[in-house]
Amino acid sequence: MLVKLKSLFLKISYLGSSQPIYIRMAIVIGLIKQ
């Protein structure tokens, strides 16, 4: 689970360089709530 989240955060921060931070936060929150 933790490893999955870590790689996920890396992906999000990589994608996030071209996206507003609130989109990243929404993705993270949505994934945590699953």
Residue ranges of domains in the chain: 1-33
pTM for the model stands at 0.38
**How does pLDDT run across 4-34, given as a tens digit for each residue?**
878 877 777 776 566 677 777 888 888 888 7
Long-range interactions of 25-30: CB distance < 8 A, separation 24+: none
pLDDT of residue 25: 81
- Residue 16's pLDDT is 59
For residue 15, the model assigns a pLDDT of: 65
Sign of CA dihedral 13, 16, 20, 23: negative
**20 vs 34: CA distance, rounded Å:** 22
Helix, strand, or coil (residue 34): coil
DSSP code for 1: -
Q: Determine the residue type at 12.
A: I
pLDDT of residue 12: 72
Total residues belonging to the chain: 34
